Structure 1
Amino acid sequence: MSEKRKVSFLGLGVMGGAIARHIGKAGHELTVYNRSPGRLDKWLAANTGVAARVASSPAEAAEGADMVITCVGNDDDVADVVLGPQGVFRALRRGGVFADHTTVSARIARQIAVEARDLQVHCIDAPMTGSQIGAEKGTLTLMCGGRPDAIDMARPVMEAYSARIVHVGKAGAGQTAKMANQICIAGIVSSLAEAVRFAQASHLDMGKVYEAISGGAAQSWQMDNRWATMSRDEFDFGLAIDWMRKDLGLVMEEGRGLGVSLPVTALVDQFFADVQALGGGREDTSAIIRRLPRKGRK
């Protein structure tokens, strides 16, 4: 790292907590903030080797920072921590960098970019893919919307926790790219669930089936990382169905605005709703298989 930056990170959830740790370990001067004190305390206890200042508000976190990064829950959460009375934009200096890793609507991303421009703040919407595993390993892919100079300024920090940083286009483009990503994931994990149940009903050796089909055109990240756990009905990890349904709601809203038909996405969203009704809203998206009962030949 050629230059140490003053970086503030807001939102210490499953993804954000791992990202903040990578930033601190990379040698940047780290400040952290989380709206839930319990989660903040848990992060501090688990990261005693990471030097971090604790802020009491988003505005306090932004004071004196070179870069502020958020990773919270939804549009309302982002609007509150960035644009609210105690928000980041109340204190972030001119020429500072703001990057949001939350998966939100392109609309709020564009709104924040306009506010940032008026404040002379560099702004990036940078949703991510790579799952909890990628966050822990520091190998995330970031889909960035914003001006090229903003991406360049943020890159030395973002390289601490990502393997790929892609400048997709102008403000909001990162979010719409993430929507395309979620469309793909939803369709793939749904068909993967059917393949797993089909193989189980045929009394096939699940390990052998994976070995046979994962080296060809059927291969996917979902297959490599979820085939075995789906076969064992294990779902206590990864992207929760509740969050995926939030993302797919954003997808379908944007699709309506674009005049794009998304029939498969809408159908899979209802499959996820079925699993929510079974009590699986906090389980990984691969729990979509729960709506398919095990069957087999006598």
Structure 2
Amino acid sequence: MIICPGQGFVFVHIPKCAGSSIRRQILQVDPDHIELARSGTHPDLGQIDFGHIPLDQLRVHFPDHYAQIRALDSFAVVRDPLARFGSALRQVLWQYEQRPMTLIPPAELRETTLRILDQVAAEIDAPSAPFIFFMRQDRFILDGEDQVLRNLIPLDLVPDFIGYISRRTGVPMETEARANQNVDLRVKGGFGTLAYKVNDRLRSVLPVNVHTRLKDTALRVLATKKSAAEASGLLDMPELRAFVQDHYARDAAIYAAVSARKVALAQDLAQGHLPITEIPA
């Protein structure tokens, strides 16, 4: 989450909803910004990801930040729950098991997915740090039944949103820049593993804008147009689809409500208006 009091807005980063792409650019618009990010230890909550704190916890443990979300224009990006779950699964496999999803044999990937589904189900209401990527989107938008965030952007309109923030703040931004992308590489095996390692190394030594441009150029050659989860076939897995339908029904309703207004929201952003969506009770 990034609070920009000087610009009058807050960006609430819902996990696996293009937040990394947006956050890197928003950081430059307000020298007095307040950023909650990275994992750490909270005296009451224990080990948490400070970048992804749901509203009910924010209200209790970070009341000043919660008050600013209510007082300022607060934005969040929402995503189709099935695609988001596939992206979260890819992130967990890479970040915590050091295994690129597209390089895992299909049978093993299926068994791994079933194992993770059980783990997510056990922690769905209070996920530990490794499973924060699977937290329901509604917990960053609603506080109980109270809709706190109304300026919601569907994932497809992220470039429009970045353009809106750029015009609102007067700070040039790259509307097509993407970070932490969920891609399927054309190269597999040892060459695929090498590509991931080279990218990690370049990310650690290059300026963000230089790395982003270099990575985007490479991906146009090395990656297919499918996400890693799509290419692996996981999004067609009956157990996974049923799991998402059962456990993320409210997220699906929120995404449907926001997506139904996509044309109007794009017009609002282009005209400099707040992209407001009321979520049905």
Tell me the TM-score normalised to structure 2 length. 0.31
Tell me the TM-score normalised to structure 1 length. 0.30
Which protein is bigger by CA-based radius of gyration? 1
